[in-house]
Amino acid sequence: MIEDRYSRQVNFGKIGEDGQKKLMESTVVIIGLGALGTVCANNLCRAGVGHIKLIDRDYVEISNLQRQTLYDEVDVLNEKPKVMAAYDHLRRINSSVTVEPIIAHIGPVNIEEMIRNCDLVLDCTDNFETRYLINEACYKQRVPWIYCGAIGSNCMTMNIIPNQTPCFMCFAGEDDNLQNGDTCSTIGVLNMVTGIAASYQSAEAIKILLKSEDVRTTMLYMDIWDNATEYIEVMRNPHCPVCGENKFAHLRAGQSTSTSVLCGKNEIQVIPRNVWKPDFHQLSFALSNLGEVDYNQFVLTFQKDSFTIKLFGDGRALIKNAKDENHAIAIYTEFFGG
Ligand SMILES: [Zn+2]
């Protein structure tokens, strides 16, 4: 008999006791712990998915609380990395689930290792760059994944199962027109639409883990303001570079010092060319003559003039108030080398 905790789910005929056991033996990787990721993590943790790996590069801020349901004001005050805040909340919700928090930026160098041996990957990111990587890594390792995106009052989600469904590249293409430059910070996003999208995503996650015949094969599009729901048939592209020709251009892309402007804030992320593990204690000593510096086990914060740098344990930094991406690299190099 499976504990009382899951009785409502076990009594649901399409899951049952065998299904529940299967869920408890499953491993899911959630990439991105924002509006979609927090809802998915909450749903899957309560549903008893046995092992949940959380990956995110960011920390909790006040503008997150409108829709990122696992966080609260204490997390904002503590500037907690999102995965650590999520981990603390999830542990109190269901201690029988193993939650593995990983503070990292997903890139071509680490994604294949991050998803190895998992049963399913959930795309809860906000950018196409990462989705192309997820698509290639999952296709290579034959791991199913679920694409999901939400903005304004609309959302889109699709299950991508290697060798069964079209892949992400089949419909997005290389110079995709789905990516029109809008972000949640410029045109906003309703918390109801992220909640709905992520709930659909986690329902499909359960079905995929249980190898249900009812897994959705179409792309679901919904606009909760304009009252639209569409199920869109996506065709497989026989010349698709990924699922047609087994070419993994995004994974192969070399690692150089790179920057990206983060969705929703005045911050630029700098990822150095050379991987290094900063010694926060030593650095804070050196930087204390130049500006204000503070650190905890996860992040070192350095404030000088008008900009603020947050340096993480993997050598990556978020720089607030840099003029542009080149300025951000210059600031990074000035204080940390590279
Ligand atoms: Zn394809």
Domain definitions of the chain by residue range: 4-251, 256-336
Euclidean distance between CA atoms 59 and 318, whole angstroms = 10
pLDDT single digits (tens) 190-224:
999 999 999 999 999 999 999 999 999 999 999 99
Euclidean distance between CA atoms 163 and 152, whole angstroms = 33
Q: Residue 33's pLDDT band (boundaries 50, 70, 90)?
A: very high
- The residue whose two tokens read 């499976």 is 2
User: Is the pLDDT assigned to residue 162 strictly greater than 60?
Assistant: yes
Euclidean distance between CA atoms 62 and 49, whole angstroms = 29
Euclidean distance between CA atoms 57 and 103, whole angstroms = 5
From ligand 1's centre to the CA of 161, what distance in Å? 10
User: Is the pLDDT assigned to residue 3 strictly greater than 80?
Assistant: no
From ligand 1's centre to the CA of 175, what distance in Å? 14
Mean pLDDT of the chain: 91
Euclidean distance between CA atoms 23 and 50, whole angstroms = 6
Residue 275: the pLDDT is 66
Question: In this structure, how many other beta carbons lie within 10 angstroms of the beta carbon of residue 48?
Answer: 20
Domain 256-336: which CATH number of 3.30.310.10, 3.10.580.10, 3.40.630.30, 3.20.20.150 = 3.30.310.10
Residue 9: the pLDDT is 95
Q: Residue 256's pLDDT band (boundaries 50, 70, 90)?
A: low
Euclidean distance between CA atoms 294 and 296, whole angstroms = 7
From ligand 1's centre to the CA of 176, what distance in Å? 13
From ligand 1's centre to the CA of 236, what distance in Å? 6
The answer to which of 157-171, 175-189, 292-306 has the lowest mean pLDDT is 175-189
Euclidean distance between CA atoms 90 and 109, whole angstroms = 28
From ligand 1's centre to the CA of 130, what distance in Å? 16
Q: 45: phi > 0 → left, psi -120 to 50 → alpha, else beta; which? A: alpha
DSSP 213: T
Cα 218 off chain centre by: 22
Contact assessment for residue 320 and residue 267, using Cβ atoms and an 8 Å cutoff: yes
Contact assessment for residue 37 and residue 30, using Cβ atoms and an 8 Å cutoff: yes
Residue 338: the pLDDT is 63
**What is the mean pLDDT of the segment spanning 258-284?**
78
For the entire predicted model, the pTM comes to 0.82
Q: Residue 314's pLDDT band (boundaries 50, 70, 90)?
A: confident
Burial of 131 (0-12, 13-18, 19+ CB in 10 A): buried
User: Is the pLDDT assigned to residue 246 strictly greater than 90?
Assistant: yes
User: Is the pLDDT assigned to residue 68 strictly greater than 60?
Assistant: yes
Structure tokens at 266: 């005045």
**What is the mean pLDDT of the segment spanning 47-60?**
96
From ligand 1's centre to the CA of 136, what distance in Å? 9
Could you tell me which residues come within 8 angstroms of residue 186 by beta carbon, excluding any fewer than 6 positions away?
Answer: none
Residues with CB under 5 A from ligand 1 (ion): 167, 169-170, 240, 242-243
Among 3, 77, 70, smallest CA distance to 30 is for 70
User: Is the pLDDT assigned to residue 41 strictly greater than 90?
Assistant: yes
Query: Percentage of the chain with pLDDT > 70?
Result: 92
From ligand 1's centre to the CA of 240, what distance in Å? 5
**What is the mean pLDDT of the segment spanning 23-30?**
98
From ligand 1's centre to the CA of 74, what distance in Å? 43
Residue 255: the pLDDT is 53
Query: Percentage of the chain with pLDDT > 90?
Result: 70
Contact assessment for residue 322 and residue 331, using Cβ atoms and an 8 Å cutoff: yes
Of the spans 107-111, 153-157, 251-255, which averages the highest pLDDT?
153-157
Superfamily covering domain 4-251: NAD(P)-binding Rossmann-like Domain (3.40.50.720)
From ligand 1's centre to the CA of 237, what distance in Å? 6
Of the spans 90-99, 264-273, 287-296, 314-323, which averages the highest pLDDT?
90-99
Residue 10: the pLDDT is 95
Tell me the residue ranges of DSSP E strands in 219-297.
219-223, 228-232, 258-261, 267-271, 292-295
From ligand 1's centre to the CA of 119, what distance in Å? 20
Residue 53: the pLDDT is 98
Residue 147: the pLDDT is 98
- Amino acid at position 45, single letter: C
From ligand 1's centre to the CA of 208, what distance in Å? 19
From ligand 1's centre to the CA of 242, what distance in Å? 5
From ligand 1's centre to the CA of 19, what distance in Å? 30
From ligand 1's centre to the CA of 159, what distance in Å? 13
Q: Residue 325's pLDDT band (boundaries 50, 70, 90)?
A: confident
